[in-house]
Amino acid sequence: RGDREGSRSVTIFSDVDRELALNALELEGELRQAIEMGGQLRLFYQPIVDLTSGRLAGFESLMRWIHPVHGLISPAHFIPLAEETGLIVKLGEVALAEACKQANLWQAQNPSKSGLFINVNVSPLQLAEPDYLTRIERILEEYGTPPAALKLEITESTVLGDVDRMIFILSALKDMGLKLAIDDFGTGYSSLSYLHRFKFDAVKIDQSFVRAMRQREDNTLIIRMIAELARGLGCEVIAEGIELQGEVQRLSELGCMYGQGYFFSPPRDPDTASRLIEASFNVGQETVIAD
């Protein structure tokens, strides 16, 4: 990240023009506190949509830090800090627990819609913890959430530890009944070797490829190839970063079954997300989830 020692630049969502240079140590202490106290760290939920029918299929949960002084801080800033300081382990558990609670609530509110899933982002550093599996098992047990309602999104752009151990952990998670997705696909170094050695349930095509298509319409080769490869391996294909109406049909034709992006909805707070579920299910018509 190339930051000078002891300083870190933090972009605040609510005021993008203002860049605050916050003391990294101070921020670390505050993040630690926020994790312990609860309340400041909240999951927001971004719809994942079936591109052919326009129906809501599930959500990706995305962490937000509502800082008492600095306002909304982007995960792009505090997740790397959490990873550098080891706080990611606890933060990841907080996220999983929160997602379990939300899944249980939505299941209770919409019993006929048991297919709705919540994706939870997992840092490769969490997977590297020796007792990661035990920790996950404990949380699933505590909340009694059906594991199949959760999909763990794993980015492997950071190659950590040996692949064999990673495959062992992923297999164990799958044996627990959890679904697994490979996130930001196409940006990592070992994406292909992972796909070859482990059967993920879903592949998420990185938004940079969708952006490239937005910039030049015929920039579709990589998307088409990833989609074909993923489908050939029996994985669901999700396109990230859909911002325009025209991209929906285009990506569907290129072989992406699901998509998410600002065109459908940005990440929403839990109450707003609940209303999206009710609207899409009660009205029972297509694409009612867009603003």
Closest approach of Mg ion to the CB of residue 242, in Å: 12
Alpha carbon separation from 257 to 55, 132, 188, 201, 237 (Å, rounded):
11, 31, 22, 13, 6
Q: Looking at residues 229 to 258 of the shown chain, list those that interact with Mg ion (rule: CB under 5 A).
A: 240
Q: Which residues contact 189 (CB under 8 A, 6 or more apart)?
A: 157, 159
Name the residue nearer to ligand C2E (CB basis): 137 or 243: 243
Alpha carbon separation from 154 to 22, 105, 163, 169 (Å, rounded):
29, 25, 14, 12
Record the tokens describing residue 88, joined without a space.
Answer: 């990611």
Residue ranges of alpha helices (H) inside the chain are: 24-37, 75-85, 88-109, 124-127, 132-143, 163-175, 191-197, 207-215, 221-232, 245-253, 270-283
Closest approach of ligand C2E to the CB of residue 262, in Å: 4
| Site map 31..50 versus ligand C2E, x via CB under 6 A | ---------------x----
- Count of CB atoms situated within 10 Å of the CB of 102: 21
Q: In this chain, which stretch among 142-150, 226-234, 246-254, 258-266 interacts with ligand C2E, using CB under 6 A?
A: 258-266
Listing DSSP states for 152-182 in one string gives: EEE--SS--S-HHHHHHHHHHHHHTT-EEEE
Q: In this chain, which stretch among 130-138, 244-252, 254-262, 268-276 interacts with ligand C2E, using CB under 6 A?
A: 254-262
Total number of residues that touch ligand C2E (CB under 6 A): 24
Interface with ligand C2E, residue 262, by CB under 6 A: yes
Q: Which residues contact 90 (CB under 8 A, 6 or more apart)?
A: 35
Interface with Mg ion, residue 184, by CB under 5 A: yes
Closest approach of ligand C2E to the CB of residue 10, in Å: 13
Task: Name residue, tokens 């939300």.
Answer: 102
Interface with Mg ion, residue 260, by CB under 5 A: no
From candidates 46, 61, 121, 220, binder to Mg ion by CB under 5 A: 121
Interface with ligand C2E, residue 191, by CB under 6 A: no
Closest approach of ligand C2E to the CB of residue 209, in Å: 12
From candidates 54, 71, 75, 146, binder to ligand C2E by CB under 6 A: 75
Interface with ligand C2E, residue 207, by CB under 6 A: yes
Q: Give the interface with Mg ion as residue ranges (CB under 5 A).
A: 121, 153, 183-184, 240
